[in-house]
């Protein structure tokens, strides 16, 4: 609920660079935990801190890929949330059987650190769409022209909020 608006305001890169290391620190804490309660608390906060990466990832795909290739990129990206819960217990059980249960945390940590290192040279993908002032001015002029040509106004002496806005915009463009 916070990461998507933050990515639209500050950019997607800052969300990645802040949330992933925090998640990795809690994963490290889960690997070193001595009690079940500390493991549950660290895993909860690791997931909570890592969730912005998933929330912003779809927006990054939309920024990077043109619509022609976006379906393939997005479906590949969405495999992780669906394959994780289905393959995780199988692979985690195999790792815990031949190693220690802590290795499930270490593997997640190693993969996360690798992804973070690879993402360090990444550039910002979000580009704010700004409406140029001349486009706003042209739109207002079109509205005024239509309004003057229609003569459907019930009382021509009353000015609408749109007319006031158009008058102010035309005064600013003339000065």
Cβ atoms within 10 Å of 124's Cβ, excluding its own: 12
- My answer on whether 96 and 25 are in the same domain is yes
With cut-offs at 50, 70 and 90, classify the pLDDT of residue 6. confident
Instruction: Kindly state whether residue 128 falls inside one of the protein's structural domains.
Output: no
Percent of the chain with pLDDT over 70: 74
Instruction: Kindly state whether residue 54 falls inside one of the protein's structural domains.
Output: yes
When the pLDDT of each residue in the chain is averaged and rounded to a whole number, the result is: 81
Residue 34 has pLDDT above 90, yes or no: yes
Is the model more confident about 94 or about 147? 94
Whether this model's pTM surpasses 0.95: no
- My answer on whether 39 and 106 are in the same domain is yes
Q: Is 156 buried (19+), middle (13-18) or exposed (0-12) by CB count in 10 A?
A: exposed
- My answer on whether 76 and 157 are in the same domain is no
- My answer on whether 147 and 106 are in the same domain is no
Which residues neighbour 20 within 8 Å (Cβ) at sequence distance 6 or greater?
Answer: 50, 53, 112, 115, 116, 119
Question: Both tokens of residue 114?
Answer: 């690798």
Instruction: Kindly state whether residue 105 falls inside one of the protein's structural domains.
Output: yes
Q: What is the pLDDT of residues 52-61, one digit of tens each?
A: 988 888 888 8
- My answer on whether 38 and 113 are in the same domain is yes
- My answer on whether 170 and 111 are in the same domain is no
Q: What's the count of helices (H) and strands (E) in the chain, helices before strands?
A: 8, 0
Instruction: Kindly state whether residue 127 falls inside one of the protein's structural domains.
Output: no
Element (H, E) at 43: helix 36-64
- Rounded-to-integer distance, Cα 13 and Cα 10, Å: 8
Instruction: Kindly state whether residue 126 falls inside one of the protein's structural domains.
Output: no
Domain that holds residue 77: 3-119
- My answer on whether 146 and 100 are in the same domain is no
Average pLDDT over residues 7-27: 89
- My answer on whether 115 and 140 are in the same domain is no
Per the structure, how many domains does the chain have?
2
Instruction: Kindly state whether residue 94 falls inside one of the protein's structural domains.
Output: yes
Instruction: Kindly state whether residue 70 falls inside one of the protein's structural domains.
Output: yes
- Rounded-to-integer distance, Cα 14 and Cα 11, Å: 6
Provide the b/e sequence for 100-123 (b: ≥16 CB within 10 Å): eeeebbbbbbeebeeebeeeeeee
- My answer on whether 78 and 41 are in the same domain is yes
- My answer on whether 40 and 95 are in the same domain is yes
- My answer on whether 86 and 166 are in the same domain is no
- My answer on whether 113 and 140 are in the same domain is no
Range of 35-39, 121-125, 126-130 with top mean pLDDT: 35-39
What's the pLDDT score for residue 156? 47
């Amino acid at each position: 609920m916070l990461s998507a608006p933050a990515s639209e305001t500050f950019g997607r890169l800052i969300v990645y660079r802040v949330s992933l290391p925090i998640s990795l620190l809690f994963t490290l804490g889960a690997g070193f935990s001595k009690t079940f309660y500390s493991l549950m608390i660290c895993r909860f906060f690791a997931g909570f801190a890592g969730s912005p990466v998933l929330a912003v990832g779809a927006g990054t795909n939309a920024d990077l890929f043109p619509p022609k290739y976006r379906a393939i990129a997005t479906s590949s990206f969405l495999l992780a949330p669906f394959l994780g819960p289905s393959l995780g217990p199988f692979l985690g059980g195999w790792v815990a059987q031949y190693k220690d249960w802590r290795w499930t945390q270490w593997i997640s940590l190693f993969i996360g650190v690798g992804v973070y290192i690879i993402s360090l040279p990444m550039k910002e993908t979000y580009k704010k769409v700004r409406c140029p002032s001349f486009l706003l001015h042209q739109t207002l002029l079109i509205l005024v022209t239509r309004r003057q040509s229609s003569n459907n106004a019930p009382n021509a002496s009353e000015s609408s909020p749109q007319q006031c806005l158009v008058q102010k915009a035309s005064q600013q463009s003339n000065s």
